[in-house]
Amino acid sequence: MINQQTTKTMNLYILNEVLSDYTSGMAVIAAESKAHARELFIAEFSEYHAKDFDEYAEFTVIEGVNHPAGVVQYVYGGG
C-alpha cells in the first residue's frame, strides 16, 4: 500500500512592509493561522525581524489554498 500524505487547506498570508532595508520588502506564507504564519516567519528570518511581523506588517489573507505550510516566497527591501 502506498502511503499518501494528506495536504491540509491553508491560508495564504501576504505580508507587506516587512524585511525592510531602507525600503520595505514582502513575504508570502502558507499557514493554518496568523500565529502559525508568525512561527514560520521567525523560523525563516530570525527573531530579528519579529518586530516587522508584529508591528509593521500589512496583511492580505487568501483562504482555502491547497499548498504545504511554509514560506512560499519573499523579497527583502533595498535601497
Q: For the chain, what are the domain ranges?
A: 10-64
Mark residue 72 as left, alpha or beta (left: phi above 0; alpha: psi -120 to 50; beta: remaining).
Answer: alpha
**DSSP H helices in the chain:** 34-45, 50-51
Q: What sign results for the dihedral spanned by CA atoms 21, 19, 50, 45?
A: negative
What pLDDT, on the 0 to 100 scale, is given for residue 7?
66
pTM comes to 0.88
- Number of C-beta neighbours around residue 15 at 10 A: 23
Give me the tens of pLDDT residue by residue for the chain, a chain 79 residues long: 443 445 689 999 999 999 998 999 999 999 999 999 999 999 999 999 999 999 999 999 999 999 999 999 999 998 7
